[in-house]
Amino acid sequence: MRDGVVILEDLLPQEAVDGLNAELAPHFVSPRPGAFLAAGNSSVGGVWGLHAMFSEQLLRQRVLELVDAILLPRNPMAATATAPPKPDYGRRIVDPGDGCLQLVSEGDWDPARGPNCDHYRITAGVSIRVHPGSKDQPLHRDLTLWEPHVPNDPRTPQYELVFHLALMDFTAANGATRFVPGSHMWPKELLATQEDVAHAEMPPGAAVAWLGRTLHGYGANRTETPRHGVLFGFSADWLAQEENQYLAAPPEFARTLPLAAIQLLGYRAGLHGNYLQGRKSENLLEPDGDGPADA
């Protein structure tokens, strides 16, 4: 919350890194020219649907604890979490005196205390290989995806948290992601200079996490070896997912995953919708006689 970015050391052991590398290797394609998010790079999208190991290895308690603390959901995901205090905000049915019943919202809400969403979902899962000779990616904020509908305003809650897991050494020379610490508190008109930039250098198994408002971009790869990791993010349940997880991990595959992964992929209803009559709110892949609309 101070810098807008932090490195988590030793998130995964080496054997887990080796397993993810082996699964990703055959899926990489030739470098793509010109695309903003992958200029001169190659990528593997939809990693959550490639193999169950991605859910098993990446959705660790340490990750979920951090997402709980930043996004402040009504229903936290980490096993160690406790539900936040009930907000002083709600709805009641009011009769103006003539029988014309109306549902009225009332009360106070503190975004610093939350809850700022019912729950959160996976918004993306991709591995990007930064090839030798690639240039610095333009600095940007991931929250731009939802602008102007979600404003880039430091006074508003955090709606997104993104992780990048290193599957090899990340160095300034091979394109370690560049960050501008503190930029999550900047007005959007303020431009960064090279002096503001820091590189997220880290060994395999470590991950860098950043807020949706933090300026960042992949670095230029000045070595002879491609650099790659796994990028995955979480956002409030009421925001559209950046990558369609229902297609990345369709129901027949999602049913093989742990419940937490099923919910985070989006097969979960909440106060903000996404329900389907006859399906369980906590797991939309399962039938239920009484849907959330009835409740």
What's residue 213's pLDDT?
Answer: 97
Report the candidate in 211, 39, 34, 241 with the shortest Cα–Cα distance to residue 125. 241
Q: What is the pLDDT of residues 78-108, one digit of tens each?
A: 999 888 888 888 889 999 999 999 999 988 8
Check if the beta carbon of residue 211 is closer than 8 Å to that of residue 4: yes
Q: Is 260 exposed, middle or buried (CB count within 10 Å of its CB: 0-12, 13-18, 19+)?
A: middle
Look up the CATH superfamily of 5-79+114-265: q2cbj1_9rhob like domain (2.60.120.620)
The whole-angstrom separation of Cα 59 and Cα 213 is 22
Q: What is the pLDDT of residues 244-275, one digit of tens each?
A: 999 999 999 999 999 999 999 999 998 878 88
pLDDT of residue 295: 45
- In sequence order, the β-bridge partners of residue 103 are 93
- Identity of the amino acid at 139: L
> Residue 292 above 80 pLDDT?
no
Of 19-33, 154-168, 222-236, the least confident? 19-33
199-250 pLDDT, tens per residue? 999 999 999 999 999 999 999 999 999 999 999 999 999 999 999 999 999 9
pLDDT for 91: 86
Distances (CA, A) of 78 to 68, 136, 187: 7, 35, 33
pTM of the model: 0.92
Q: What is the pLDDT of residue 35?
A: 57
Instruction: Please tell me the predicted confidence (pLDDT) of residue 112.
Output: 85
Reduced to 3 states (helix: H, G, I; strand: E, B; else coil), residue 172 is coil
Question: In the chain, what are the domain boundaries?
Answer: 5-79+114-265
**What element of type H or E holds 16?**
helix 14-24
